[in-house]
Structure 1
Amino acid sequence: ATQGPCRAFLADLTENDPRRTRIANAYFSLFMALGNILGCANLKSAFLLDIIILAITTYVSVVTVQDNPTFGSDEAAPPSSHEEEAFLFELFGSFKYFTMPVWMVLIVTSLTWIGWFPFILFDTDWMGREIYRGSPEIVADTQKYHDGVRMGSFGLMLNSVVLGITSIGMEKLCRKWGAGLVWGVSNIIMALCFVAMLIITYVAQNLDYGPSGAPPTGIVAASLIVFTILGAPLSVTYSIPYAMAASRVENLGLGQGLAMGILNLSIVIPQIIVSLGSGPWDQLFGGGNAPSFWVAAAASFVGGLVAILGLPRARLGPKKKTTQR
């Protein structure tokens, strides 16, 4: 709920500079990673730390940032054609003003999140069921399932470490290769990771775990490596789409709040579709998490191709001032 306004505020502060917008969203991704790492240790401590940091950062933002009001205190100015409130009907009505680059950003965002959401839903469950062969419904297998979930949570912490490290170098990558190419390559890496998870699942199903029932060290290590590598594409997902949407929608004069609202629609709608359809889809193929991960791999790969072919590779930087003679 807070990400949309925060990212819109960042886009306003960067003043439509693509480079500054990418840097701001990269640091936003970095601090999300730090929060995930701190939250892995102790839930109660994480909540307390969250309250303290939220209070401090909110106070600093309110006191130090000069955000000029849109209207005067005495009389409201008449609404202009380009600075209207993003009510629901205006949100959908603004679609007719979109250019092809904006549509491409929204399409790639939707495909990316169709890929991410099965992983977000089933990451630790996959580790508990497919790797540790546990089940929360069967009493004898409950402990194995919980061991798998804990190992999956450890993998997500490693994922957050890589997420934070990648966020630091995000701007350099975009300057060297272009934001569209970085986004496309990260989606293809994500698809390969999901395929690797399917391969690990197949190998684990055909292995003899022995009398202890514990999975082999190699299978667990391979699973943790996949979780860790996925931190890099996640960093791209948390930064580049927001930066590209902010710069492109701002050029249309529609405002940053509307830009984040539209981008959130391209994220939320795929999440609703995946959350409602993943269960029946998995049951259609006999249960397990593999069918959803096949869909995730396919959507990620297609999204990567669309990003590479349909999004500009321009190495956008700060605009240079030209002098007239």
Structure 2
Amino acid sequence: MKLPEGDRRRSRDRPAVREPPVARVPLRKLFRVASVACGIQFGWALQLSLLTPYVQELGIPHAWASVIWLCGPLSGFFVQPLVGHTSDRCTSRFGRRRPFIIAGALSIVIAVLVVGYSADLGWLFGDSARSGTKVGAIAAFVLGFWLLDVANNMTQGPCRALLADLTGKDHRRNRVANAYFSLFMAVGNVLGFATGSYSGWFKILPFTLSPACGTDCANLKSAFILDVAFIAITTSISISAANELPLDHSHPHSHEEMPGQSSNSQEAFLWELFGTFRYLSGPVWVILLVTALTWIGWFPFLLFDTDWMGREIYGGKPNEGQNYNLGVRMGSFGLMVNSVFLGITSVLMEKLCRKLGAGAVWGISNILMSLCFISMLIISHIANNVDKVGDLPPDGVVAAALIVFAILGIPLAITYSVPYALISSRIESLGLGQGLSMGVLNLAIVIPQVVVSLGAGPWDQLFGGGNSPAFAVAAVAAFASGLIAILAIPRSGGADKSKGHR
């Protein structure tokens, strides 16, 4: 059939990537493919629970601790879209996504070993036990930490895109696949936070102790050694289940370039990435806005959750007594419980979205997140003004903090799943590859993270050095994102039209 002139013009103007044909993939295979999220998130959980406190123990002030995290959003800004763009066009006989997943997993292994052995490397560079600020250890730590962020971004984008490839236009299965991914993130979180909260790893792996690395350092090192084994196992399970179809580079339309773009797509990558924004529809812009506000809410919590427990609930400071370390370990336990709620919510995700609509589920969860952050401000105030039991906070204050951590697992599960399903279904009509689509969504995540990384520490310092000011901003952003999601994301649309694909 010959297209009308207007349709031909729009077809020529639209960037397109022709995806390989998709057969209906069994749910058990999607489950196995999604398992790689467990290994990735195991390392993320260790990073989130242990590394902000650890970097302060090395001598970096609290006001600058958030700047160390700047590489995560910066690498996400460039690495994940670039990897997604490149994997859309990868013609490897092993598939489009799997080579990047393997390379990312290997990079994670190298990075966590550098982080875990940063104190030993610093000792080789001239640090001593009497050093206040361990310059060599900090240099090794920052190198490993930043490489870890790059590797995580290199791995997660292709993982999400692979699930979207395998589900094709079946929006219900796409939501199920993202729920599986979220479930495995929860399992990885549970295991990672449980590992971070245990203080006896140095006894099980005594070789981790060294003149440069005491018990706290040895526990961190041991946890990252376990992470190496875990990422190897889950990556193997995932890539062996994928059975990707290679992209046919011999076909003249296997991947079409944008008008005026050179055949060297790597050189034109940034132009293509930002050029896609002019093709985005109103609903996609709303999803990106809600995503950005959501991550302004989440990132202060992810940066300072265990630090908040150590400083403001237990009243400790790094390298001063045991209260801070006790609080950090209790915070890791709270994050483990958080992950249990995350996993339960992931299992119920599909039913919730079918009943209420994905936009309403997302909006309600973000308002719940806002209320939790407000509760944390109230708990901080109570902890600072209540009589302590000896040198420790009352059990009721600690229990209240743990309950808030647990409840936050519900909106975190929604954040890990719903935006990806929404963007995947609504952006397919533009002809973009799923890898580049995930890169576009990632921009709405990393730009707010850059703002928070640069501003959270100085902002907190301006109001006395605690974490409460950042949590106040997070509460406002989360509430605003919830209202926009409820009011502006319609229930009808690609993400919710699933009955025809059962």
1:320, CA displacement in angstroms? 3.2
1:82, CA displacement in angstroms? 6.7
Q: How does 1:163-312 map to 2 (within 5 A)?
A: 163-210=342-389, 212-312=390-490
1:45 — aligned with what? 226
Q: Which runs of 5+ in 2 are unaligned?
A: 1-152, 196-222
2:301 — aligned with what? 119
Q: How does 1:57-72 map to 2 (within 5 A)?
A: 57-61=238-242, 65-72=243-250
1:90 — aligned with what? 272
| Match for residue 496 of structure 2 among 292, 316, 324 | 316
Amino acid at match of 1:269: I
- Higher relative CO (Cα under 8 Å, sequence separation at least 6) belongs to 1
Contact 1:178 1:313 in 2 (8 A): yes
Tell me: CA distance 1:50–1:169, structure 2 relative to 1, closer, same or farther (3 Å): same
| Match for residue 21 of structure 1 among 152, 166, 174 | 174
Contact 1:38 1:46 in 2 (8 A): no
Tell me: CA distance 1:177–1:214, structure 2 relative to 1, closer, same or farther (3 Å): same
1:5 — aligned with what? 158
| Match for residue 80 of structure 1 among 256, 261, 266 | 256
Amino acid at match of 1:53: T
Deviation track 1:139-178 (CA, whole Å, cap 9, x = no partner) reads 3xx3100000000000000011110110001000000000
Contact 1:16 1:246 in 2 (8 A): no
1:101 — aligned with what? 283
Taking the aligned partners of 2:254 and 2:240, their CA distance within structure 1 comes to: 32
Contact 1:155 1:224 in 2 (8 A): yes
Deviation track 1:170-228 (CA, whole Å, cap 9, x = no partner) reads 00000000000000000000000000000000111111104x21110000000000000
After the TM superposition, list the runs of 4 or more consecutive aligned residues in structure 1 that deviate by more than 4 angstroms.
Answer: 75-79, 81-86
Amino acid at match of 2:384: Q
Taking the aligned partners of 2:469 and 2:460, their CA distance within structure 1 comes to: 5
1:14, CA displacement in angstroms? 1.1
| Match for residue 333 of structure 2 among 140, 150, 154 | 154
The DSSP-based 3-state class of the residue aligned with 2:500 is coil
1:113, CA displacement in angstroms? 0.4
1:285, CA displacement in angstroms? 1.5
Deviation track 1:66-109 (CA, whole Å, cap 9, x = no partner) reads 4241422xx76575257995811100011111110000000000
The DSSP-based 3-state class of the residue aligned with 1:169 is helix
Contact 2:194 2:332 in 1 (8 A): no
Tell me: CA distance 1:41–1:155, structure 2 relative to 1, closer, same or farther (3 Å): closer
Contact 2:377 2:468 in 1 (8 A): yes
1:18, CA displacement in angstroms? 2.0
TM value normalised by structure 1: 0.91
TM value normalised by structure 2: 0.60
Taking the aligned partners of 2:158 and 2:244, their CA distance within structure 1 comes to: 16
Taking the aligned partners of 2:291 and 2:234, their CA distance within structure 1 comes to: 30
The DSSP-based 3-state class of the residue aligned with 2:381 is helix
1:55, CA displacement in angstroms? 2.2
The DSSP-based 3-state class of the residue aligned with 1:286 is coil
Contact 2:175 2:417 in 1 (8 A): yes
The DSSP-based 3-state class of the residue aligned with 1:80 is coil
Q: May I ask how many residue pairs the two structures share in their alignment?
A: 312
Tell me: CA distance 1:233–1:78, structure 2 relative to 1, closer, same or farther (3 Å): closer
Contact 1:163 1:235 in 2 (8 A): yes
Contact 2:287 2:419 in 1 (8 A): yes
The DSSP-based 3-state class of the residue aligned with 1:69 is coil
1:54, CA displacement in angstroms? 1.7
Amino acid at match of 1:135: K
